[in-house]
Amino acid sequence: MIQERRSQQPDDPDTTPDRDTTTGTARETDLDRDDIFDVLSNGRRRYAIEYLKGHDEGETIDLSDLVDYIAARENDTTVGQVSYKQRKRVYSSLRQTHLPKLSDCGLVEYDRGRGTIALADGVREVQMHLEYVPEDDIPWCYHYLGLASIMGTVVGLVWLGVYPFGDLTTAGFGTILTAAFGVSAVVHTIHTKRNELGSDLEVDR
């Protein structure tokens, strides 16, 4: 059981409260794109949403369980191997800063008195922003733009009768077009699921 200890000078910089953070009950707010990325820029806040998304909708979890999960993730270990000091650092920053921030933005429902947390409806509104693009990847919008350009070029070659495209039938071109966009859509769907928060929740105990 983690005991709460108040300190005027926390030993973890993550425990420094964010500006405009409250500790009241969750309320939905209109967040613009910059606000969303600001909230999700912190790893512990992302881990909190990730863990909650791994549970049934509306399910309430204990703060201690969330602390165990995040501490294990941060230290690349199992929950059973997490030390008291590692838990304490996570516990302090979650309770003082990150959960109130998420609650204030309407992303979680946080009952500070009971030490319980649940996802709020606001998470659905920001779901489109929870997918990230790796450094060595390109946005999918550019992929589809490029694919459309290639198909447009093929149409032009067919119309001009350039070999071997001039011999391509309407059915043949339709098959190629459907296959190209169909495969892209399937790969895009798999890619999105893998990069979505909550898609990798295995933490050994």
Q: Give tens-digit pLDDT for 16-40.
A: 444 443 444 434 456 667 777 788 8
Which is higher by pLDDT, 134 or 64? Answer: 64
**Residue 197 pLDDT:** 53
Tell me the pLDDT band of 94, cut-offs 50, 70 and 90. very high
CB 109 within 8 A of CB 103: yes
**Residue 3 pLDDT:** 44
**Residue 7 pLDDT:** 38
36: amino acid identity, one letter:
I
Within its chain, how far is the Cα of 26 from the centroid? 20
Half-sphere exposure of 38 (CA within 13 A, CB side): 9
Tell me the pLDDT band of 122, cut-offs 50, 70 and 90. confident
3-state helix, strand, coil split of the chain in percent (to 5) is: 55, 5, 40
Mean pLDDT throughout 123-134?
A: 62
105-128: burial string, b at 16+ Cβ within 10 Å, e else: bbbbbbeeeebebbbbebbebbee
CB 96 within 8 A of CB 13: no
At 108-118, the pLDDT tens digits run 999 999 999 99
Mean pLDDT throughout 30-58?
A: 82
Measured between alpha carbons, how far apart are the two ends of the chain, in Å?
A: 16
